[in-house]
Amino acid sequence: MTNSGKIELMAPAGNFESLQAALDNGCDSIYFGVEQLNMRARATVNFVLEDLPEIARRCKEKNVRTYLTLNTIIYDHDLSLVKTLLTKAKKAGITAVIASDQAVIMTAKTMGIEVHISTQLNVTNVETVKFYAMFADTIVLSRELSLRQVKKITDAIKKECVIGPSGNLIEIEIFGHGALCMAVSGKCYLSLHSHNSSANRGACKQNCRKKYTVIDQESGFEIEVDNEYLMSPKDLCTLDFLDQVIDSDIKVLKIEGRGRAADYVATVIKTYRDAIDSYYEGTFTKEKINTWMEALSTVYNRGFWSGYYLGQKLGEWSDNPGSSATQKKVYVGKGINYFVKSSVAEFKIEAYDIKKGDKILITGATTGAQELIIENMFVNDIHSDKATKGDSCTMKVPFRIRLSDKIYKIVEA
């Protein structure tokens, strides 16, 4: 729980761009993977051991908690790496580790590192919560529970005073937004069978996101499943019933997306930050919800549904293989200079034209993801309304950019 008494908003960080985007848009905590041994080992550019001090430094400056995700299946040959990762994490001042394997849980506990139980352990009842309370202070519940079931667990924790190693009541965390897996709590073996690439080792090939033909083995009759990807769920979205989510007495709301781009992280975290604050201010209205939902629809999504939180028994399946975002970004070029005194950035246009009035996105490891409208610009030192491939373009930018920051044009999808 945050110092403000509000629920904690946890953001995904797949790289420094996404990390900075999360920090700039109001997260209370971030979670990330280092090297392999996390469930997004191949889905994103993971941090390396040497990044840990910088991750901790940036987050401490914003009073943001840091969680190292170390939640894959662990084999004997992994144990030395587990100890190395945890030792480095503790030295860097990382807040906690998200774990599912008992070896990781016990090693972290022995080293005095705060432990959070991963959703991979599929915790669905208060007796299991009591068991893991011997080792962990926060437990991520199964994604298949309804809010009524979640509330029953949080009520029991208070009634029975279920205390974690820190001496405080166990905190319950749930997923609030992002991609869902068809398998129970992500335990899927399709990728392992088809590609010898285990999803449970962070190497999912996403077989479920593809289109399939169903064949009757007796008659040979074929059915092409049209307009629906029967193993590819729509993305989870709880924003339109966030009041009910908060009323279930969870302490942490987790946003999925370590494989997503920085602009996705920026938009989703900003939107949920606004919604959470509005709830506590008593201004959580239907009109605001409509505006927030429009914002969420602009970035990558497979369509939205409420998951199992409202009691729905069957999933809602995506009707296309990719994103349903209403906007997309098109690469334009990269930053080559920034003039601090005049707050002017210089870009090399490498791919796509831009013009006065365009909405642009600038991303970078320290810049995060920043959007702005072009109000004025110079092309090759001459005032112009348009820049094309090969041009050098300067414009007012109210934040410092770095060399090789990327510039994109935001267009309607």
Average the pLDDT over 318-343 and give the result: 87
**Confidence at 92, pLDDT banded by 50, 70, 90:** very high
pLDDT given at position 248? 98
**Confidence at 35, pLDDT banded by 50, 70, 90:** confident
Distance CA 192, CA 204 (A): 8
Query: 31 or 226, which is more confident?
Result: 31
pLDDT given at position 129? 98
Phi, psi of 379, rounded to the nearest 5 degrees? -120, 120
Distance CA 316, CA 74 (A): 32
pLDDT tens column, 354-399: 999 999 999 999 999 999 999 999 998 899 999 999 999 999 999 9
Per DSSP bridges, beta strands 171-178 and 252-255 are parallel
Which residue is listed with tokens 């914002």?
295
Query: 5 or 29, which is more confident?
Result: 29
pLDDT given at position 219? 73
**Confidence at 46, pLDDT banded by 50, 70, 90:** confident
The DSSP symbol for 107 reads: H
pLDDT given at position 209? 59
Distance CA 57, CA 355 (A): 38
Q: Per-residue pLDDT for 190 more than 70?
A: no
pLDDT given at position 38? 65
Q: Per-residue pLDDT for 200 more than 60?
A: no
The tokens describing 355, both together, are 């013009």
Question: Whose CA is closest to 100, among 171, 180, 15, 39?
Answer: 39
Contact (CB, 8 A) for 384 and 374: no
Which residue is listed with tokens 């094309």?
388
Helix (H) or strand (E) holding 393: strand 392-396
Query: 187 or 308, which is more confident?
Result: 308
Q: Where are the beta strands (DSSP E) in 313-381?
A: 327-339, 344-349, 354-355, 359-364, 368-373, 378-379
Q: Per-residue pLDDT for 59 more than 90?
A: yes
* Residues paired with 338 in a beta bridge: 345
pLDDT tens column, 220-265: 666 555 545 556 678 899 999 999 999 999 999 999 999 899 999 9
Query: 202 or 171, which is more confident?
Result: 171
Percentage of the chain exceeding pLDDT 70: 83
Average the pLDDT over 41-69 and give the result: 89
**Confidence at 1, pLDDT banded by 50, 70, 90:** low
pLDDT tens column, 114-144: 999 999 999 999 999 999 999 999 999 998 8
Q: Give Cα separations from 360 to 334, 379, 410 (angstroms).
A: 12, 16, 6
How many other C-beta atoms are found inside a 10 Å radius of the C-beta of residue 404? 11
pLDDT averaged over the chain?
89
Average the pLDDT over 299-316 and give the result: 82
Quote the radius of gyration of the chain (alpha carbons, Å): 23
Burial of 145 (0-12, 13-18, 19+ CB in 10 A): buried
Q: Per-residue pLDDT for 194 more than 90?
A: no
Interaxial angle between packed helices 79-92 and 52-61, expressed in degrees from 0 to 180 and rounded to the nearest 10: 40
Contact (CB, 8 A) for 232 and 318: yes
* CB-based contacts of 237-240 (< 8 A; 24+ apart in sequence): 237/177, 237/293, 237/296, 237/301, 237/304, 237/305, 237/306, 238/176, 238/177, 238/306, 238/307, 238/309, 239/176, 239/177, 239/271, 239/272, 239/275, 239/289, 239/292, 239/293, 239/296, 240/289, 240/293, 240/306
pLDDT given at position 231? 62
Q: Which of 188-202, 262-276, 282-296, 315-329 has the lowest mean pLDDT?
A: 188-202
* Residues paired with 162 in a beta bridge: none
Q: Per-residue pLDDT for 160 more than 60?
A: yes
Distance CA 390, CA 350 (A): 6
Burial of 307 (0-12, 13-18, 19+ CB in 10 A): buried
Query: 290 or 215, which is more confident?
Result: 290
Per DSSP bridges, beta strands 378-379 and 327-339 are unpaired
